[in-house]
Amino acid sequence: MKKLLIKNARVLSPADGIDEKLDVLICDGRIEKIDKKLSAEESIDMSGKIVCPGFVDMHVHLREPGYEEKETIYTGTKAAMYGGFTAVACMANTSPVADNRATVEFIINQNEKAGFVRLFPIGSVTKGQKGEELAEIADIYAAGAAAISDDGKCIMSAEIMRRALEYNRMFPSPLIVHAEDLVLSRSGQINEGLVSTLLGLKGMPREAEDVIIARDLELMKYVSSRIHFAHLSTRRGVELVREARKQGLPVSAEVTPHHLLLTDTAVKTFDTNTKVNPPLRTLEDIEALCEGLRDGTVEVIASDHAPHTFEDKDCEYIFAPFGISGIETLVPLMLDRIVAKGVISLPEFINKISVNPARILNIPFGHIQPGQEANLTVLDLEVSGTIRVDRFHSKGHNSPFDGWNYKGRAVYSVIAGKLNKLD
Amino acid sequence: MEKSLHDIENLTRDDLELILATSEQFREISERRVKKVPTLRGKTICLFFIENSTRTRISFELAAKRMSADLINFSASTSSLQKGESLTDTVKTIMAMGVDLFVIRHSAPGSSRRVEQVAGVPVINAGDGPHAHPTQALLDLFTIYRHKKKIEGLKVAIIGDIYHSRVARSNIFSLTRMGAEVVLCGPPTLIPREIEKLGVQVTYSVDEACKMADVIMCLRMQLERQQSGMFPSMREYIQLYRIDEKRVSLAKDDVIIMHPGPMNRGVEIIPEIAYHHRSVIEEQVTNGVATRMALFYLLLGRGNEETAD
């Protein structure tokens, strides 16, 4: 029996009502006991650190199969681990698309070989993510998918969306929506507004996002289904989700760090690392997203980790692909600029990065309880540092946060009982 | 002034006044019998055109030759550049042969900044998609100044497809910074979002725009825009926005008529107005050479006199 004892840490598990200095004893990969003054042969002193339920990033792109030059399951999950995560859910826009059992099983197998974090694939909603015919959704779930999504693309046919929502009622997971009216946003590069006007770049109006959120809420209500909205970026989007939740509809939503911290003015340098979809919006949107985090409308913070190669981004702005490599910067950025700045408290942050995504995906994370698999993230709020893309474990160095300073990050994690030092 | 000219947004009023004064000096050179000075002897300028252009390119070429610079011409289509060598690698290759200044035209906004990042030498933006066309705005400013002896307080009407126009964007900055009153006019679908935040007025009525104007600046209507559904038909556009005698008669008596070229005669302007005595369209072209010589001098020539002799 392999035992590991974490001593003298502040154990903070909002879902279990725990917030005090305790020891955690881990035995054979499971949490055995949480109590004061425990002892064991092997122990590690974690005074001054905070032990949290393992962090879950429910929105990442790992690029494998098909785009291994951008990222592999090995490099992406290693980056996730070093970013402080114990589990990730990866989107289906690979090549081939994860619209079938074989691809979903392949992804799971690749992760078993990599072995850094727990991985939950998300299957696609439609075949080839074309938005035309439903994929074999039951088979995808049976293969181990945690949810379904056509993320990266929007299902433009309201009829297909209605049927997908309806069909998904058989399963406990939500349909994850990438809300973007592709006709309204066509060939858009950045948020439509003063900055797009100044730079002469085609704009993507916020309304492209809002009209799909409004449409899908109506469809969801009609067929009594569930939705999780990926990467909310607009003020009106937050309002629509808030109104729906007030009516008691089973809808949840996430926000990314870059939509909380950057506006479209960052594009004025024409740095292709600022090109992301949905695009960076405005201060007014950031304020609404923060208010959504505060009042619980936005339940999840996720990275939308979208790695690209140097060559992909080393080009004219209009030719660059969308995406930010974000899995290694989420935790330090949010601790420094959202938690320390008082937008949300630390327990609220843990809810949004562990408890809520685990609940939404129906995965056994988000708690620190005896008997559970030991998946923990350990924070040190006092350690300072600077984000350096050349130190990323991800293949994708495409981050607009290079050189940003932070205070607070994940310093250890425990994944299935195994202790990892993160530096 | 910064070491490159990417857009007008980053120029101060002092910079603009310096460019106007310098352009005046270089215009005089173009009127001499021997139109050549040795200012840029031993300097190499690369004209890097990834988008078609006739007048802008010839204007830069003449300006460089009149200042005794050596010239390289590099042209490619955007698509061929995209398929083959990247912009970065192309610029690196040219740089390896020794270039002192790049003039770049490209359909992608921000390209001149990319070239500067890679090349590390001064870059003049000769038009980057709908973003900016600073040398056009400067030659326009120079032309207006030569006629009106001031910019402050003038009413300048810019008429046509504002949405796709780099000329309009750059002129808005130079004119407002110098104190002119700028009125933009076009159909609502061709007025970009929030542009009034730049301190300009917007009207959909061309009569309103022309009324008491000191300057009427027509923009080229690109025929392919109609296909993108931005307006219903060229016929309707012409009815609403073409500049003719009646509209010019609403302006001040000493109004000047401008057009950056190339013109679609009969679309945005009737030929009678294009060749009217109030039209300064050809003079814009003449002034373009002087303004570009002035910019070459300011970015590359100052300090070169000693080393050249």
Show pLDDT as tens, one digit a residue, over chain A (423 residues). Answer: 689 999 999 999 999 999 999 999 999 999 999 999 999 888 999 999 999 999 999 999 999 999 999 999 999 999 999 999 999 999 999 999 999 999 999 999 999 999 999 999 999 999 999 999 999 999 999 999 999 999 999 999 999 999 999 999 999 999 999 999 999 999 999 999 999 999 999 999 999 999 999 999 999 999 999 999 999 999 999 999 999 999 999 999 999 999 999 999 999 999 999 999 999 999 999 999 999 999 999 999 999 999 999 999 999 999 999 999 999 999 999 999 999 999 999 999 999 999 999 999 999 999 999 999 999 999 999 999 999 999 999 999 999 999 999 999 999 999 999 999 998
> Closest partner residue to B195 among A197, A199, A317, by Cβ?
A197
| Domain match, B32 and B163 both | no
Name the residue in chain A with its Cα closest to that of B85: A315
The answer to whether the Cβ–Cβ distance between A317 and B9 falls below 8 Å is no
Predicted pLDDT of residue B308 = 41
Number of domains forming the structure of chain B: 2
Largest CA distance in chain B: 61
Q: Are B104 and B128 in contact (CB under 8 A)?
A: yes
Complete DSSP assignment for A391-411: G-SSS----TTTT-EEEEEEE
Predicted pLDDT of residue A385 = 97
For B30, the 3-state DSSP assignment is helix
Structure tokens at B172: 């808005």
| Domain match, B221 and B245 both | yes
Q: Tell me the C-alpha distance between A272 and A314, whole Å.
A: 8
Predicted pLDDT of residue B75 = 85
Q: Are B184 and B165 in contact (CB under 8 A)?
A: no
Complete DSSP assignment for A99-152: -SHHHHHHHHHHHHHH-SSEEEEEE-SBGGG-SSSB--HHHHHHTT-SEEE-TT
For residue A184, the surrounding DSSP H or E stretch is none
Handedness of CA B13, B15, B17, B23 (dihedral sign): negative
Domain-embedded: residue B203: yes
Other Cβ atoms less than 10 A from the Cβ of A20: the count is 9
| Domain match, B21 and B154 both | no
Domain-embedded: residue B1: no
Distances (CA, A) of A80 to A66, A73, A147, A255, A415: 20, 10, 19, 18, 12
Distance from the A207 Cα atom to the nearest Cα atom in chain B, whole angstroms: 13
Distance from the B131 Cα atom to the nearest Cα atom in chain A, whole angstroms: 4
The answer to whether the Cβ–Cβ distance between A196 and B193 falls below 8 Å is yes
Complete DSSP assignment for A141-178: HHTT-SEEE-TTS----HHHHHHHHHHGGGSSSPEEE-
Report the length, in residues, of chain A.
423
Structure tokens at A198: 């100044």
Other Cβ atoms less than 10 A from the Cβ of B199: the count is 13
The answer to whether the Cβ–Cβ distance between B193 and A193 falls below 8 Å is yes
- Edge-first strand order for the sheet with B256-258 is B201-203, B181-185, B155-159, B215-218, B256-258
Structure tokens at A239: 């309002």
The answer to whether the Cβ–Cβ distance between B131 and A311 falls below 8 Å is no
| Domain match, B150 and B241 both | yes
Kindly give, in sequence order, each residue whose CB lies less than 8 Å from that of residue B180, ignoring residues fewer than 6 positions away: B151, B152, B153, B154, B155, B156
Structure tokens at B132: 């900016």
Q: Tell me the C-alpha distance between B67 and B308, whole Å.
A: 12
Distance from the B110 Cα atom to the nearest Cα atom in chain A, whole angstroms: 6
Predicted pLDDT of residue B82 = 61
Task: Residue B242: name the closest of B268, B278, B265 by CA.
Answer: B268
Of A151, A210, A304, A380, catalytic: A304
| Domain match, B78 and B172 both | no
Domain-embedded: residue B66: yes
Q: Are B280 and B24 in contact (CB under 8 A)?
A: no
| Domain match, B44 and B32 both | yes
Q: Which pTM value belongs to this model? A: 0.95
Structure tokens at A249: 């509809």
Residue with tokens 């000047």: B256
- Which DSSP state fits B301? I
| Domain match, B147 and B115 both | no
Q: What are phi and psi of A320, to 5 degrees?
A: -75, 145
Domain-embedded: residue B234: yes
Predicted pLDDT of residue B52 = 84
Q: Delimit the domains of chain A by residue range.
A: 3-50+372-421, 54-361
CATH superfamily ID and name for A3-50+372-421: Urease, subunit C, domain 1 (2.30.40.10)
Predicted pLDDT of residue B309 = 42
A304 given a catalytic annotation: yes
Q: Are A375 and A419 in contact (CB under 8 A)?
A: no
ipTM exceeding the 0.85 mark: yes
Q: Are A58 and A390 in contact (CB under 8 A)?
A: no
The pLDDT > 70 percentage for chain B reads 95
Q: What is the pLDDT of residues B141-182, one digit of tens each?
A: 999 999 999 999 999 999 999 999 999 999 999 999 999 999
Identify whether A278 is preceded by a cis peptide bond (ω within 30 of 0).
yes
Q: Is a pLDDT exceeding 80 seen at residue B303?
A: no
Q: Are A251 and A227 in contact (CB under 8 A)?
A: yes
The pairing of strands A43-45 and A30-35 is unpaired
The CATH number given to whatever domain includes residue B293 is 3.40.50.1370
Radius of gyration of chain A (CA): 21
Structure tokens at B100: 């002192």
| Domain match, B124 and B14 both | yes
Identify whether B271 is preceded by a cis peptide bond (ω within 30 of 0).
no
| Domain match, B259 and B294 both | no
Q: Are A255 and A276 in contact (CB under 8 A)?
A: no
Q: Is a pLDDT exceeding 90 seen at residue B116?
A: yes
The domain A54-361 having CATH identifier 1.10.10.10: the answer here is no
> Could you tell me which residues of chain A have a Cβ less than 8 Å from any Cβ in chain B?
192-194, 196-201, 203, 269-270, 311, 314-319
Predicted pLDDT of residue B305 = 57
Distance from the A91 Cα atom to the nearest Cα atom in chain B, whole angstroms: 29
For B90, the 3-state DSSP assignment is helix
- Burial tier of A16 (Cβ tally within 10 Å: 0-12, 13-18, 19+): middle
Q: Is a pLDDT exceeding 90 seen at residue B2?
A: no
Answer left, alpha or beta for residue B216, where phi above 0 means left and psi between -120 and 50 means alpha.
Answer: beta
Q: What angle do the packed helices B134-148 and B13-30 form, to 10 degrees?
A: 80
- Burial tier of A130 (Cβ tally within 10 Å: 0-12, 13-18, 19+): middle
> Closest partner residue to A315 among B86, B129, B166, by Cβ?
B86
Structural domain containing residue B140: 134-280
Task: Residue A341: name the closest of A384, A296, A290, A379 by CA.
Answer: A290
Q: Tell me the C-alpha distance between B108 and B121, whole Å.
A: 20
Runs of H (alpha helix) within A205-309: 206-223, 235-246, 257-261, 283-295
Q: Tell me the C-alpha distance between B129 and A108, whole Å.
A: 45
| Domain match, B112 and B85 both | yes
Predicted pLDDT of residue B76 = 79
Predicted pLDDT of residue B80 = 63
| Domain match, B200 and B258 both | yes
Domain-embedded: residue B296: yes
Handedness of CA A72, A360, A20, A41 (dihedral sign): negative
Q: Which residues in chain B are contacts of A319 at CB distance < 8 A? A: 82, 108
Task: Count residue pairs from A and B with Cβ separation < 8 A.
Answer: 60
Structure tokens at A218: 């109506």
> Closest partner residue to B110 among A196, A270, A311, by Cβ?
A270
| Domain match, B77 and B49 both | yes
Runs of H (alpha helix) within A320-416: 330-334, 346-350, 356-361
Q: What are phi and psi of A283, to 5 degrees?
A: -55, -40
Domain-embedded: residue B308: no
Q: Is a pLDDT exceeding 70 seen at residue B78?
A: no
- In this structure, which amino acid lies at residue A78? K
